[in-house]
Amino acid sequence: MIKQPIDLKQQLSLYLVMGSQNCKHDPVETLEKAIEGGVTLFQFREKGEGSKTGEEKIELGLQLKEVCHQYDVPFIVNDDLGLAIELDTDGLHIGQEDGDMKKIKDTLKSHQLFGVSTHNVEEALEAHRIGVDYIGVGPMFNTTTKDDIEEVRSPVVIKEIREQLPDIPIVGIGGIKHDNASQVIDAGADGVAVISDIAQADVPMKAAERILKDVKY
Ligand code: TZP
Ligand code: MG
């Protein structure tokens, strides 16, 4: 367990989401270099074609958690409540289809962050009512990383959510790269969540640095 962020919004600035199936290079090395480039939060999303399961998934999760904690970066796990408990992660992120939000929130330990993916104002309001710590909103732009995506929303949806929920921590996701990240921040997000622009980069550290410049300007 690491100290919870003093300011979660700041921790959302550059949120790397990744599993071994997303990486051009070794995942442990990719994460380490990306953190050196400025990644502020990490989500282990070992999911889809080519991803690890069972013991292999747990083993990789443990290695990635260790890297995160060397740098004081919170380690969040995607979808898997069992793994969040087993690895005593710093948080869990789920989608709309991943179960009863309230029950899952009540199962987590008080130090564990709880994030939920949302696509519109209604889902954001419901997540807020349950008391989630932050919401992901997307997909902002076209992406080929996730095949079951909902329609592209554009940063306009963040603006709409921000008008209704002025204080909730928001991170945009989907097709975000160094040349469009500022649109997401300008719309009212506190940060950007990125897979391929970092995990598929030749030099993940440089890729992270490049996006971070757009987020903090
Ligand atoms: N949820 C909505 S879009 C997406 C997820 C997990 C994929 C984002 O990947 P990329 O490569 O940053 O577009
Ligand atoms: Mg999910």
- Count CB atoms within 10 A of the CB of residue 78: 21
| Per-residue confidence (pLDDT) for residue 2, from 0 to 100 | 59
> Mean of the pLDDT values across residues 66-76?
98
Query: 118-140: per-residue pLDDT in tens?
Result: 999 999 999 999 999 999 999 99
* Residues ≥6 apart with Cβ < 8 Å to 213: 178
Residue stretches of the annotated binding site: 43-47, 78-79, 98, 117, 143-146, 175, 195-196
What interface predicted TM-score (ipTM) does this complex get? 0.98
Query: 204-215: per-residue pLDDT in tens?
Result: 999 999 999 988
**CB of 115 sitting under 6 A from ligand 1:** no
Is the pLDDT at 4 greater than 70, yes or no? no
Q: Which domains does the chain have, with CATH numbers?
A: 8-215 (3.20.20.70)
Say what percent of the chain tops pLDDT 90.
91
Query: 22-59: per-residue pLDDT in tens?
Result: 999 999 999 999 999 999 999 999 999 999 999 999 99
Better-scored residue on pLDDT, 150 or 77: 77
**CB of 138 sitting under 6 A from ligand 1:** yes
How far is 169 from 8, CA to CA, in rounded Å? 7
